Every structure is written in structure tokens, then in C-alpha cells.
């Protein structure tokens, strides 16, 4: 748990906001609406948005009438998220590798591949333990992750973008264990050249099933995209897993 972890650095940078601007509140609201309907979530449910970033999914959950808590490791993100705080929407600076509320939430969400960032198996297991422990008995954990098998076949190895006057040169590659994305930023107006690297572990459905089972969670359903179509191991871009806390 070090200050130089890549996700602390990159997601604290204003350039991550620019690069991912297209993933906005409207996109978040669409997915939240679909999941709320699919899961038949009762109004007033207690919901945790784990690794919430600036809270776009948290806001959508709160607007649906759920008592929503968002947590993230990035102080800058939480400071921005706090601007949306309401009676049923709260944010906290928190590392999901550490315990949070115990047996408190009806639903826990982890959106947009906000997992797989840590260096060790123990850290990932600690994070799943936190999410599981925060659920009430029979509560549901929803993790929205990339589909490793699809992503391996659809990597765009080199990409150049100009967004808001800033140049992004992006390289993508993978090895047996991780996907990598190296992001070169050239901001002419500010005279800034910086490089950031994302690293996400290649967790399969089987890997998650094992991690879940150790923490008393059982996979109930898996969807393959944001329209909640059935998961296909090779053709689905996403792996949206629904797991129930059974003990």
C-alpha cells in the first residue's frame, strides 16, 4: 500500500479525466438503471460503490432512491465526488484492501474494471474480503470487469488521440498475467510531457469464482455487456458478475 502505486498516480492526474471523459454520467445512469431493474433492487436499499472515482455511478444509484456510499483511494477523486453529497449519498476516502462497514450493505458494486490493480494475490483477496464482509447475508456483489479472452483478441496496440488540445499517444500490450496501457501525454499549452502506465491483472471467471468462494460468495449470474446480454467467453467485451453472500 504505497503512494507510488500506479492507480494512485494516474487517477490523481487531470489527464485521466480528459482521456476517459466520454464515460460520463449518462453512461453510468444507463447501466445503473439496467442493473437496478434486473436485480429488482428495492427503493431505500443500502448500496456501496467501491472504488467509485469521482462518483458518477454513485450519483446514478442515489438518484434511483438508494442509500449510497462511495469509497475510493484517490483523495482528489473523493474531493470532487463530495460536491454531489446529499442526504442519501456519502463519500469516504478508503482503500478497499482494508475493512469497511461490516454486514451493512444490501448491494456492493465495483464498476468499470476498478479491480485487478494490485501487485499480489493477497491484496486482491483482501479486497474481495472487504466487499464480502460489507454485505448483509444474502446481499449481492456486482463486479464489472473486462473479459480477458475478448480483450486479448481486440487490443488496439497503438493509438493517437487529441482531446481538449492535449495529445495522447497510447501503447497497449499484454503478457501471461497482465494487460498494460502506457499513456504518453503531451500538453503543449502547459509545456508538460508525462507518461503513465495502467496495469490490470488477467482474472478469468474461474479466478473470480475461486476468490468469491473463499469469502462466502457464490456466482449467481454473469452478463457480457452493458445491455446485460448473456456472457460469452470469447465474444463478450465485459464480464459483469453477480455474486450472493451465502455465509
pLDDT digits (tens, 9 = 90+) for 105-128: 999 999 999 999 999 999 999 999
pLDDT tens readout for residues 188-228: 999 999 999 999 999 999 999 999 999 999 999 999 999 99
Q: From its phi and psi, is residue 32 left (phi > 0), alpha (psi between -120 and 50) or beta?
A: alpha
101 vs 95: CA distance, rounded Å: 12
Q: Whole-model pTM?
A: 0.96
Amino acid at each position: 500500500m504505497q503512494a507510488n502505486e500506479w492507480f494512485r498516480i494516474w487517477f490523481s492526474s487531470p489527464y485521466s479525466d480528459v482521456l476517459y471523459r466520454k464515460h460520463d454520467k449518462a453512461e453510468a445512469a444507463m447501466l445503473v438503471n439496467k442493473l437496478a431493474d434486473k436485480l429488482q433492487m428495492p427503493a431505500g436499499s443500502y448500496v456501496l460503490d467501491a472504488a467509485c472515482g469521482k462518483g458518477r455511478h454513485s450519483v446514478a444509484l442515489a438518484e434511483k432512491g438508494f442509500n449510497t456510499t462511495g469509497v475510493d483511494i484517490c483523495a482528489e477523486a473523493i474531493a470532487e465526488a463530495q460536491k454531489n453529497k446529499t442526504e442519501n449519498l456519502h463519500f469516504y476516502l478508503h482503500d478497499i484492501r482494508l475493512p469497511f462497514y461490516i454486514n451493512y450493505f444490501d448491494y456492493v458494486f465495483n464498476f468499470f474494471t476498478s479491480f485487478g490493480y494490485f501487485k499480489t494475490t493477497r491484496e486482491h483477496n483482501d479486497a474481495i474480503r472487504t466487499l464480502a464482509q460489507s454485505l448483509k447475508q444474502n446481499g449481492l456483489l456486482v463486479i464489472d470487469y473486462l473479459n480477458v479472452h475478448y480483450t486479448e483478441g481486440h487490443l488496439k496496440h497503438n493509438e493517437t488521440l487529441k482531446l481538449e488540445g492535449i495529445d495522447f499517444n497510447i501503447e497497449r500490450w499484454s503478457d501471461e498475467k497482465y494487460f498494460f496501457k502506457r499513456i504518453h501525454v503531451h500538453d503543449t499549452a502547459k509545456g508538460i510531457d508525462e507518461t503513465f502506465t495502467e496495469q490490470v491483472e488477467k482474472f478469468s471467471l474461474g479466478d473470480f469464482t475461486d476468490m468469491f468462494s473463499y469469502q462466502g460468495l457464490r456466482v449467481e449470474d454473469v452478463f457480457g455487456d452493458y445491455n446485460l446480454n448473456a456472457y460469452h467467453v470469447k465474444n463478450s467485451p465485459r464480464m459483469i458478475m453477480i455474486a450472493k453472500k451465502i455465509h
